[in-house]
A and B are shown apart, each in its own frame.
Chain A
Amino acid sequence: MKLELQGVHKYFDTPSGPIKILENINLQVAQGGFISVMGPSGSGKTTLLHLLGCLEQPSFGKVFLEDTEVTDAEETVRERIRLHHIGFVFQNYNLLPTLTVIENVLLPMQLANVKTAEQITRAQSLLRLVDLENRAHDPVTRLSGGQQQRVAIARALSNLPGLILADEPTGNLDGRSSKEVMDVLKSINDHQQITTVLVTHDPKVAAYARRTFHLEGGRLKELAR
C-alpha cells in the first residue's frame, strides 16, 4: 500500500490554548516500503501513526492511502479501512486476555466475515509464520512478552493488510525477544511486500527499516543512511 501525507498539521486543544504536535508533515512511502520513525518521548510519533492508521484526523493537510484521500472519510469508512487494509501492532500487545492464541488471530477475520474454513487455514498459517503453531490453543496470558507480540503480529496480518503500523513493538521486550519480533516484521516486509511503518526510540530497532526518520518539534526529517 502506498502512503502519502501532504502538509499535515496536528494540534490538540487544551484549556490554555492549542498545542502543536505535528507541523507541515510531508511523507511518501512506496508500496512495500519499510520506514522507522524515531524521536524523543512526546514528539508525536504515535500521533503520526494514528493519522496513517485512520484513528485520528489531521487538523490541516491530507492523508492518502493507495492514492485515495482518507482525510475526512466517515467513521464507517475508516473502520472498514482499518479492518481490511491495516494491521496494528501495539507496544502493550493489546491482545484479548479471555481468548486463546488462535482466537486472537481469528478475531479480525471474524469481524470481516471471512468464511470459517478459510479463517482456520489462514490462522494456522500465520501462527506457523510466527513460530507459535504449537501454542494455538493456549490462553494468551500464558505466553511470554515476546510470544504475545508475535501473536499480535499474526493478528495484524489476519486480514491480509497492505499496511502494518507498529507502535514501539519492542518497547516492553528484552533484547532477545526484540530481535525475534523484528526478524518476523522484517521477514514479512521482505517476502510479502507489506508496507511497514515502525515507531521506536531504539536505534537498533530503527535500523531494521530501509528508511529512518526523526521527529522532533513537530517536524519530520529523513536521516541519511
Chain B
Amino acid sequence: MIALTLAFRNVLRRRERSLLTLVGVLLAVGAFVAMVSLAEGLYRRVSLELDGRAVDVYVVPRTAAPLPTGPVGTVGLTTDTVALTWIEKIAALKNVRRVAPITRDQWTSEHGTVMVVGIEPTSLREFLPSLEIVEGRVFEAGQILVGVGLAASEGLTTASSQGAQEGLKNRFGPGESRYPISGIVSSGSGFQDYFVYLPLATALETNARKGVQEVWVKVEDPHRAAEVVQAIEALAIPDVKVMTRKDYLGAASDYIEYAWLLQFAISAIGVLIAITAAMNTMLMSTYERMREFGTLRAIGAPRGTVVTMVVTESVMLSLLGGLLGLAFGWIGSILLDRAMVTLLQLSFPLAAITPGLIIQAILLSLFVGLVGAAIPSVLVWRVDIVRGLRWN
C-alpha cells in the first residue's frame, strides 16, 4: 500500500514528464493494436470460416494458396483447376461419402471485389452447415445467395421480399448479367457473410470451364481421412495437392502467422521507443530520489519495499498508457482496415479487436513498465544507505 501511494504521488510530482512517458506508451500500444488487429481479424474469420465447414479432405491445384477466401488480390491467384473428370473417380473411392466440386471467381462491385463460390445446391447444407438462410430460400439455376454482410454493404434484398420497394436491389452480378437473389445467408461473422453463392452449373457455364478450383470431400469415418488422402493421391491427378482438414488449416494459419509477424515487427519499433521512454523517465526519477530511498532504508524499509515503489510507478504509468493506447489503437484499426479494404479491393472488413488482442496489449504495457523499471530497480537495490542519505 505504501509503495502504491508513494508511486502514485511521484507520478503526479513531475506531471509533464509522466505525461510524455504516457504518450510514448500510448502510441506504441496503439500502433501495436492497430497493426495486429488486421492479423487478428484475419485469423478470427479464417477460424470461423473453417470451423463452419464440414469438409474432411481438400483437393486443390498445387499452385493455389489454401485460403478460405480463395485468392486475395494476387495472393493465391492461379488459373489451374481440377478437371471435372476426376470428380466421379474421387466419389467412387472407399470411405468417401460425398464430393463437392467448388468454383471460385471474383466479381467487381462499386465497393470492391466480391468472392463468388460455385457449389451444388444439395452440397450447401452438407458442407457449409454454419450457413443459415436468414431471408428467402436456397437458389435454383440462374439465381444466387448473398452473404448478410455483402447484402448490407451493397443494399441487397431477395427477389421475393418487399425490400425492392424501399430502394434495395434484388439482383446482383457483374456487368449486364445480374442474377436474381433467392436468399440471404449468414455464417456468424465468417468470410461467408461477404460471399456470393452461385449454382455450380451456372458458374461452369458462365466461365466455360472444364475444371473447378477446389474439390471438397466428406468421408464416412473422419478418423480415416488420411487413408482417403492416400487413395486420392494414388489416382495421380496431375498438379494437385490433397490435404486433410488439419493440414489445410495449418497451411492457412501459416499465411496468418506471416501477416502477424510482419505487423508485429513494424509495431515493435514503437514498442522499443516506448521502453526507452519509460526507462529514461524512471532513471531520472530514481536519481532525483536517491536521498529518499536512502532515508527509507535508514528508517528500516527493506530493499524489496523500495524496489517495489520503483516498479509500481513504472508499471502504473505504462498500464495507464496502455489502456489509453487501446482506445487509440481501436481508432487506428478502423482507419487501417479501411485503407486495406480499399487497397486490396475487398468486400469484407479485415480488422478485429479480439479479447486476445486486448490481453496482448495489456501484457505489452506491463512488459514495457517492467523493462523500463529494470535498471532503476537494480540501482535502488544496490544503493548504499549512507551514500543515499548524502545524495545531492
Closest-CB distance, B18 to chain A (whole angstroms): 13
Residues of B within 8 A of A (CB): 1-2, 5-6, 9-10, 12-13, 291-292, 294-302, 305, 385-386, 389
A107 touches B386 (CB 8 A): no
| Chain A residues with CB under 8 A of B6 | 96, 98-99
Q: A82-B300, A112-B300 are in contact. Are A94 and B1 (CB under 8 A)?
A: no
A107 touches B13 (CB 8 A): no
What class of interface size applies to chain A in its complex with B? 20 to 34
A56 touches B2 (CB 8 A): no
A94 touches B389 (CB 8 A): yes
Closest-CB distance, A101 to chain B (whole angstroms): 14
Task: Closest A residue to B2 by CB, please name it.
Answer: A110
User: Can you list 13 contacts pairing A with B, beta carbon distance less than 8 Å?
Assistant: A79-B302, A82-B299, A83-B300, A88-B298, A90-B295, A94-B294, A94-B295, A98-B10, A103-B5, A107-B2, A111-B2, A111-B300, A111-B305
Asked if A50 is an interface residue, CB under 8 A from chain B, the answer is yes
Within the complex, which residue of A55, A83, A103, A107 is in contact with B385, where a contact is CB–CB below 8 Å? A55
Asked if A210 is an interface residue, CB under 8 A from chain B, the answer is no
B300 touches A96 (CB 8 A): no
Give the docked Cα–Cα distance between A125 and B258 (Å): 67
A88 touches B299 (CB 8 A): yes
Asked if A84 is an interface residue, CB under 8 A from chain B, the answer is yes
A82 touches B298 (CB 8 A): yes
| Chain A residues with CB under 8 A of B300 | 79-84, 86, 108, 111-112, 159
| Chain A residues with CB under 8 A of B5 | 99, 103
Within the complex, which residue of B9, B12, B291, B385 is in contact with A99, where a contact is CB–CB below 8 Å? B9
Give the docked Cα–Cα distance between A112 and B298 (Å): 14
| Chain B residues with CB under 8 A of A82 | 298-300
B295 touches A50 (CB 8 A): no
Give the docked Cα–Cα distance between A112 and B292 (Å): 18
Give the docked Cα–Cα distance between A160 and B13 (Å): 31
A98 touches B299 (CB 8 A): no
Closest-CB distance, A169 to chain B (whole angstroms): 14
| Chain B residues with CB under 8 A of A86 | 300
Interface string of A45-79 (1 = CB under 8 A from B): 00000100101100000000000000000001001
Asked if A122 is an interface residue, CB under 8 A from chain B, the answer is no
Task: Closest B residue to A103 by CB, please name it.
Answer: B5
Give the docked Cα–Cα distance between A84 and B1 (Å): 19
Task: Closest A residue to B301 by CB, please name it.
Answer: A111
Within the complex, which residue of A50, A80, A98 is in contact with B13, where a contact is CB–CB below 8 Å? A98
| Chain A residues with CB under 8 A of B298 | 53, 55, 82, 88, 94
Closest-CB distance, B140 to chain A (whole angstroms): 77
Within the complex, which residue of A56, A80, A84, A98 is in contact with B386, where a contact is CB–CB below 8 Å? A56
Given contacts A83-B299, A110-B2, list 4 more A-B pairs with CB under 8 A: A55-B385, A55-B386, A83-B301, A98-B10
A107 touches B299 (CB 8 A): yes
| Chain A residues with CB under 8 A of B297 | 79
| Chain A residues with CB under 8 A of B302 | 76, 79
A-B complex: 5 closest residue pairs judged by Cβ atoms? A83-B300, A98-B9, A94-B295, A82-B300, A110-B2
Asked if A9 is an interface residue, CB under 8 A from chain B, the answer is no
| Chain A residues with CB under 8 A of B2 | 107, 110-111
Asked if A150 is an interface residue, CB under 8 A from chain B, the answer is no
Give the docked Cα–Cα distance between A53 and B389 (Å): 13
Task: Closest B residue to A46 by CB, please name it.
Answer: B386
Give the docked Cα–Cα distance between A86 and B2 (Å): 20
Chain A CB within 10 A, most for which of B6, B13, B297, B298: B298
